[in-house]
Amino acid sequence: MAANSDAVVNGVSQAYLESKGVKETRALVSELCRHFYTLGWVSGTGGSITIKVHDDSIPKPQQLIVMSPSGVQKERMLPEDMYVLSSSGSVLSAPSPKPYPHKPPKCSECAPLFMKAYEMRNAGAVIHSHGMEACLVTMIDPFSKEFRITHMEMIKGIQGHGYHDELVVPIIENTARESELTESLIQAIEAYPKATAVLVRNHGIYVWGDSWISAKTQAECYHYLFDAAIKLYQLGLDWSTPSHGPIHRVWGGNRSVNMAVKAGTLNLNQAVESSRRCIVLDIEGTTTPISFVMDVLFPYARDNVRKHLTTTYETEETKDDITLLRAQVRFY
């Protein structure tokens, strides 16, 4: 870009692009990327962050945007590596190419999604994390379109939420390219007006806030809550209910039964009776994903086999089943 301080790009002067506010925001983005790298949020060149250049004299929707580049080592970025965009997303300043083995500079692949958070939520900063917690928590229930958690202290760190509130984060499905997530993100933002984040299954999370401090604080709280949910799941405890008691798995293709149990309108025995639609005799040759077998069928058998044997052990049917199983064990 020309060094002439009188030069104007898309209505923005070169002098303003080199102003103290822009320089400080460039430095802040590179500093935060280094920090997020230590947290595992932006490793392997993944993840990104963008911050608006705060200026009291300029309304937030019209403020300039500093955005990290795509496909670079985030822990080695410098202020001069950042892109500066107009409020409409036009690139006003791009970094200079670096010698081999660096790739040619490219603005963040997340740019279209970042711009939607700015446009639809009047955000001051947006963080995209590839943190392991944000990825794994979307895989616990591969059919869920939401992550829900309640009665955890760190929920208070999420804008508009308190300890007793239920935090709901929408989950959208991943795509081959980041920019292809834009439409799904728009729909999630529209459908969840209270949300300050959107999870992407098998991928990560987008978090926004009024300022970079708000976005960073919330991102830390989200990751904490995701990690807590994963650990509670491993312990067999339900993170989505106030008591965080044992998980009662009621399977049978009827989500309303599960919700009724949580809501207290059905007791567990009633729910089990209501959900009995079929008996799984064999999984070989079916179209059921192996993840469903491992995550649903096997845990269900493990959780219920003791109760079944205890209550039916003296029946001829169960005795025949046990005899058959013993014969199979000897055979194999």
**Contact at 8 Å (CB) between 22 and 64?**
yes
Q: Is 110 marked as binding a ligand?
A: yes
Select from 177, 171, 28, 10 the least CA-distant residue to 88. 10
Separation CA 250–CA 268 (nearest Å): 8
Q: What angle do CA 263, 264, 267 make, to 5 degrees?
A: 130
Select from 166, 134, 131, 173 the least CA-distant residue to 149. 166
What residue type is assigned to position 251 of the chain? W
- 132: helix, strand or coil: helix
Q: What angle do CA 143, 148, 151 make, to 5 degrees?
A: 155
Select from 111, 77, 92, 88 the least CA-distant residue to 15. 92
**Contact at 8 Å (CB) between 55 and 104?**
no
Determine whether 153 is an active site residue. Answer: yes
Cis status of the peptide bond prior to 170, with omega within 30 of 0: no
Q: Is 128 marked as binding a ligand?
A: yes
Provide the pairing of β-strand 91-93 with 83-85: antiparallel
Given 31, 80, 153, 180, the catalytic residue? 153
- Here the tokens at position 226 are 């995701």
- Here the tokens at position 159 are 């804008």
Please report, in range form, the residues annotated as the binding site for Zn(2+).
Answer: 128, 130, 203
Kindly list the catalytic residues.
Answer: 153
